[in-house]
Amino acid sequence: MANNALETVKEKVNGVLAKYPVIDEPLSKVAGNLKIDKAFIVLGIAVAIPILIYSLMNGGTLVIDLIGFVFPMYASIKAIESPAEDDDTMWLTYWLVFSIFKIVESTADFLLQYIPFYLLIKAAFLVWCYYPKTQGAKIIYTSAIKPYVVPALGIDQTAKKED
């Protein structure tokens, strides 16, 4: 029954799109590249716009939280399910840096609210932390956490993890 409703919505969206070739043609190309139905792209945008408006009206925190949580959660699940260990380390490092960042941010919130474009800076920082080509969380870990926090915790850096 839900499948029939979904098909009906897809047909209606595709019918409306067919009336507007200026939108339909580029959307068809994007849908072909992404290998998903163009109706789902339209529905995704239709859902995303109110979420963005709501978020912007409430300080933008929802969008920033989505940036900081959704893709990293997905990638973490993929890493857990993959046999490789290097991706596990990458995502553990991200979550460690993210947690420290959230604690510092909540403590310094009264100051951060005065920084212009703070939410954009925060979004860019979070993406930099988890983007595979930059691996910002790894940079932060190796330059700030490992040399100062790890020794202070008395963790033996020469010991290897054994399963």
What is the per-residue pLDDT across 56-100, written as a single tens digit (0 to 9) for each? 676 677 788 888 999 999 999 999 999 988 899 999 999 999 999
CA 130, chain centre distance (Å): 8
For the chain, the structural domain boundaries read 1-57, 60-156
pLDDT score of 161 more than 70 = no
The DSSP secondary-structure symbol of 35 reads T
Region 17-23: mean pLDDT is 88
pTM summary value: 0.66
The DSSP call for residue 145 is I
Angle at 133 between CA 108 and CA 161, to 5 degrees: 80
Report the C-alpha gap between 8 and 39 in whole angstroms: 11
pLDDT of residue 48: 82
pLDDT, average across residues 19-23: 88
Query: From the DSSP assignment, how many helices (H) and strands (E) are in the chain?
Result: 9, 0
